[in-house]
Each structure stands twice: as structure tokens, then as C-alpha cells.
């Protein structure tokens, strides 16, 4: 099938390359000529495992074209909207890019075309956009097909997701749209991927509701960590115990710095803002505390660092291991790790930070945080070691080797990812989160 993808950011670039991998002919459009040039040359503009190989395969096949010319989408049967919805000044989602993408697409729609929203938008957006499509091309249909990508696993989650959700109109129009989407995703459906067909508002709520739940679960265990520290309990053992209850589960019950990235923080704030607009703000009032707990973790780590340094942060050497908001990513948007590093710099610490993928993106956002090219360079002569992103490289460090590099054997494990017994045996004072 010939399809188009409007927007070549994180979501769009992955989706376009993955669709070509599945055998479709793809034209991918973005307003940024630099980004288009990179992608056309086989260079991924961001770090995502598996994307360079998928991109190379797509380009070698001749099934993908990257362009800034929206007119090139004419003739495609399906048009995916994959542009960003950043947080606006009030916390609500900024739909500027979504509206602009639809405006640019409308002149090129033909009868029978399917416009498929992938972006995370406030509930009610799809109905508004569907009306715009009908006004210009009555025989085209807008549907919503939310994405569920996990950074670090985005290609896998596109090619073989854990479920598909189709938000479609009622009746024969919706049935035709379902048939077309089934053709797009034929390989994954044949492999047994579940597919749910729902109305437009439900489809818009799925991704943002899932993110709100995950954020709540993370903040819950971090609230328990606050209690565990005061009570002398171990939040990791607590999480293991309650995680055996299959109604709760162990996933996302890891106490630490809290969540970050480009989705969870902005999505829970946008969800609250939309609920307020709908007059049901009290229904999501709890998300304000979820957000507050999450942000509190960052200040707490800075406080713990000060305690471990004997109360004097200024002039002390601090090794920061990890700047991305999660491993296997170079994404530093709303990253707790980068925020903590910057706060320590503001307090006068000499910070040397290292991340296997995010040094460059971190330097663009917070240039005051000094980055180095290896963990060993960050660790040399450090008075305190902070592990802030749980990269395998950091989990697998030999504490005996680290002890020979640092000035003081003190480590703050911000992700509770280290082998505490091994580090203690190597002579380190180890402080975890809620432990």
C-alpha cells in the first residue's frame, strides 16, 4: 500500500521506517529540511536502538521517500498524522502542529483516503478534525490509531505491538476504515496481535489514560519510599512483596528519581487541563499529587547528595552517571537525571557527567552541566558518585575498579539498580532510594 506519514520526529520517523520495513511504499514529510536531509541520508536524528538498521533497510528497498513537499502525499491511500503535541503554557496540549499538518494535507486528499491520527491529543480533537476533513473531501475519513511506543523499543512496538486500537466512526464508513487499517497492519494481526475497535473519544483517551496510570503507579511507590526511609524499611523488598499480588504486579514499582521524558509528564498535565475544560477536573485531581511526588524526588536526591557530602556541596567533585530520562535513549526532555545534575551545579558542585547516548542532547539543553566521554573520566577523584540512569554499563561496573578511581567511596544509587552487597564489600557507603 502507498501511505504517507506527516511529521518525522520521534514517532513519525520510527513509524515511516517501520511501515517501509513491512513492505509499504512510504512518503514521509516534515517541515524541517535538516531532519529530512538526515533521514534521507540514513542518519537517525535521535538515538533509538534498531532504528538505524530499519532506516537503512527501508532506504535500500526504495520503498521510502523523505521530503518537505506535502504535495508528494497525493496518491497515498492512508495518511498518518505523527506530529508532536507539546505542553503549552497552561499545561494543556499545544495542537498547533496537528492543526497545521491537517491544513497542509487537506488539498491533497482524494475520495476514499484515510487520515489516521497517531499523536496523543485531548479528547474531542478527532471529532473536530474529522469535520474539517469532511468539509474539504466528504469521501475521505479521519480515524484515530494511538501509538504505544516505548523509547528504546520503538521499532519493535511499531512492527509487533502488544495491541492495536482503532477509533472509527459508526456504520459502514467505520467498517471500511477498519478493513484498510487491517491491511496496513496485516503482518502483526496475522501473528496474533489483539485489535480493539472503539469510537473516536475512547481511542483518544487510551494512550493518555495508560500514561496517567503508569505515572500514578510510579509516584505511588516513590511515596512509599518516602515513608520507608523514615520508618527504616526497604521499599524494594516492599515492592517485591506487593508485586506478587496479580492485581498490582511488579512492573513500574521501582522507586527512584521518578519519571520524565516527553510523554508522561506532559500527558498527565494535559489530561488534567482537558478534564478542567470538560468540567470534570475533580476526577483527575489526584494527578496533581502524582506530579508533585514525582518532582519532589529530584529535590530529595539533591538533599541526600548534600548529606553524603557532609553538608558541603560547593567545590566538591560529583560524578553523575546518566543524563537521559531512561536507558537506551538520548532523550533528556524533563529528565530527572539532568535536572539533578544542573541543580548540583547551581549549588557550586563540580559535576562531571557521562551518559552513553545523551551527552550531546544534554549539552544542548543544559550546557552548564559538564559532560565527559567515559564513566572512568567522570569517576576519577569524585567525592560522590550518583547513578541516575540505569544503563547496563553502570549496573555492570565493578565496584573494586571504581574504588580505585574515586576520592571517596560513596555512591547514591538513584535507581536502586546496583548490587548493594558487592558495592558494600568493595568498601563503599551505598545509599539507595527508600532503602
Domains in the chain: boundaries: 2-198, 205-434
Confidence of residue 46 (pLDDT cuts 50, 70, 90): very high
Q: Where are the alpha helices (DSSP H) in 309-372?
A: 336-346, 359-365
Backbone angles phi, psi at 12, to 5 degrees: -65, -45
| Mean pLDDT across 359-367 | 96
**Does the annotation list 46 as a binding residue?**
no
Reported for 137-141, long-range contacts at CB under 8 A and 24+ positions apart, including other chains, are: 137/106, 137/109, 137/110, 137/111, 137/113, 139/111, 139/112, 140/109, 140/110, 140/111, 140/112, 140/113, 140/114, 140/115, 141/113, 141/114, 141/115, 141/168, 141/169, 141/173, 141/176, 141/177
Q: What's the pLDDT score for residue 289?
A: 97
**Beta strand 141-144 pairing with 114-117:** parallel
Q: What is the pLDDT of residues 211-243, one digit of tens each?
A: 999 999 999 999 999 999 999 999 999 999 999
Q: Where are the alpha helices (DSSP H) in 232-369?
A: 235-243, 264-277, 286-308, 336-346, 359-365
Q: What's the pLDDT score for residue 373?
A: 97
**Does the annotation list 252 as a binding residue?**
yes
**Does the annotation list 389 as a binding residue?**
no
Q: Count Cα neighbours of 325 within 13 Å in the Cβ-side half-sphere.
A: 18
With residue 226 as reference, give the H or E element that holds it: helix 200-231
What's the mean per-residue pLDDT of the chain?
A: 96
Please tell me the distance from the alpha carbon of residue 36 to that of residue 43, in angstroms, as a whole number: 10
**Does the annotation list 167 as a binding residue?**
no
- CATH topology for 2-198? Rossmann fold (3.40.50)
Q: What's the pLDDT score for residue 231?
A: 97
Q: Is 271 exposed, middle or buried (0-12, 13-18, 19+ CB in 10 A)?
A: buried
What one-character DSSP code corresponds to residue 314?
T
Mark whether 417 is an active-site residue.
no
What is the maximum span of the chain, computed from C-alpha positions, in angstroms? 72
Confidence of residue 176 (pLDDT cuts 50, 70, 90): very high
Q: What is the pLDDT of residues 289-317, one digit of tens each?
A: 999 999 999 999 999 999 999 999 999 99
Using an 8 Å Cβ cutoff, are 221 and 235 in contact?
yes
Q: What is the pLDDT of residues 376-432, one digit of tens each?
A: 999 999 999 999 999 999 999 999 999 999 999 999 999 999 999 999 999 999 999
DSSP 189-222: HHTT--EEEE-HHHHHHHHHHHHHHHHHHHHHHH
Using an 8 Å Cβ cutoff, are 333 and 261 in contact?
yes
**Does the annotation list 394 as a binding residue?**
no
Q: What's the pLDDT score for residue 113?
A: 98
Active-site entry in 27, 73, 101, 263: 263
- CATH topology for 205-434? Rossmann fold (3.40.50)
Confidence of residue 318 (pLDDT cuts 50, 70, 90): very high
Same fold, 2-198 and 205-434: yes
**Does the annotation list 207 as a binding residue?**
yes
Please tell me the distance from the alpha carbon of residue 141 to that of residue 137, in angstroms, as a whole number: 8
Using an 8 Å Cβ cutoff, are 382 and 352 in contact?
yes
Q: What's the pLDDT score for residue 203?
A: 98
Q: What's the pLDDT score for residue 95?
A: 97
**Does the annotation list 85 as a binding residue?**
yes
Q: Above pLDDT 70, what percent of the chain?
A: 100
Sheet with 429-431, side-by-side order of all strands: 350-354, 317-321, 384-387, 410-413, 429-431
**Does the annotation list 253 as a binding residue?**
yes
Using an 8 Å Cβ cutoff, are 170 and 205 in contact?
no
| Closest listed residue to residue 430, CA positions, set 413, 408, 407, 405 | 413
**Does the annotation list 120 as a binding residue?**
yes
- Polymer length of the chain: 435
Please tell me the distance from the alpha carbon of residue 291 to that of residue 219, in angstroms, as a whole number: 8
Amino acid at each position: 500500500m502507498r501511505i504517507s506519514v506527516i511529521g518525522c520526529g520521534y514517532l513519525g520517523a520510527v513509524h515511516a521506517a517501520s511501515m517501509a520495513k513491512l513492505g509499504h511504499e512510504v512518503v514521509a514529510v516534515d517541515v524541517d529540511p535538516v531532519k529530512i536531509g538526515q533521514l534521507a541520508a540514513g542518519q537517525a536524528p535521535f538515538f533509538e536502538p534498531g532504528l538505524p538498521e530499519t532506516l537503512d533497510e527501508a532506504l535500500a528497498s526504495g520503498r521510502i521517500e523523505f521530503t518537505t513537499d506535502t504535495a508528494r502525499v497525493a496518491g497515498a491511500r492512508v495518511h498518518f498524522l505523527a506530529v508532536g503535541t507539546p505542553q503549552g503554557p497552561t499545561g494543556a496540549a499545544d495542537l498547533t502542529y496537528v492543526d497545521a499538518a491537517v491544513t497542509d494535507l487537506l488539498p491533497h486528499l482524494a475520495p476514499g483516503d484515510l487520515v489516521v491520527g497517531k499523536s496523543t491529543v485531548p479528547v474531542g480533537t478527532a471529532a473536530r478534525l474529522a469535520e474539517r476533513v469532511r468539509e474539504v473531501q466528504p469521501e475521505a475519513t479521519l480515524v484515530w490509531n494511538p501509538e504505544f511506543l516505548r523509547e528504546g523499543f520503538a521499532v519493535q512496538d511499531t512492527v509487533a505491538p502488544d495491541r492495536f486500537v482503532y477509533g472509527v466512526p459508526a456504520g459502514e464508513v467505520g467498517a471500511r476504515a477498519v478493513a484498510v487499517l487491517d491491511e496496513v497492519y496485516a503482518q502483526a494481526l496475522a501473528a496474533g496481535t489483539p485489535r480493539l475497535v472503539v469510537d473516536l473519544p475512547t481511542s483518544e483517551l487510551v494512550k493518555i489514560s495508560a500514561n496517567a496510570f503508569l505515572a500514578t503507579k510510579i509516584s505511588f511507590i516513590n511515596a512509599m519510599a518516602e515513608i520507608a526511609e523514615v520508618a527504616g524499611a526497604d521499599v524494594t523488598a516492599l515492592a517485591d512483596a506487593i508485586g506478587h499480588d496479580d492485581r498490582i504486579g511488579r512492573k513500574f514499582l521501582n522507586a527512584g528519581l521518578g519519571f520524565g521524558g516527553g510523554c508522561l509528564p506532559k500527558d498527565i498535565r494535559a489530561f488534567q487541563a482537558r478534564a478542567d475544560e470538560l468540567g470534570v477536573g475533580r476526577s483527575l485531581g489526584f494527578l496533581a499529587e502524582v506530579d508533585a511526588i514525582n518532582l519532589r524526588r529530584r529535590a530529595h536526591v539533591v538533599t541526600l547528595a548534600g548529606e553524603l557530602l557532609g553538608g558541603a556541596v560547593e567545590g566538591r567533585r560529583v560524578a553523575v552517571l546518566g543524563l537521559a530520562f531512561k536507558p537506551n535513549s538520548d532523550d533528556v526532555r524533563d529528565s530527572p537525571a539532568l535536572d539533578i545534575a544542573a541543580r548540583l551545579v547551581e549549588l557550586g558542585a563540580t559535576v562531571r557527567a557521562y551518559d552513553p547516548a545523551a551527552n550531546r542532547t544534554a549539552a544542548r539543553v543544559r550546557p552548564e552541566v559538564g559532560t565527559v566521554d567515559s564513566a572512568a573520566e567522570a569517576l576519577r577523584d569524585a567525592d560522590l558518585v550518583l547513578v541516575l540512569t540505569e544503563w547496563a554499563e553502570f549496573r555492570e561496573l565493578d565496584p573494586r575498579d571504581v574504588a580505585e578511581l574515586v576520592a571517596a567511596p560513596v555512591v547514591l544509587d538513584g535507581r536502586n539498580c546496583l548490587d548493594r552487597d558487592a558495592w558494600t564489600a568493595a568498601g563503599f557507603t551505598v545509599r539507595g532510594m527508600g532503602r
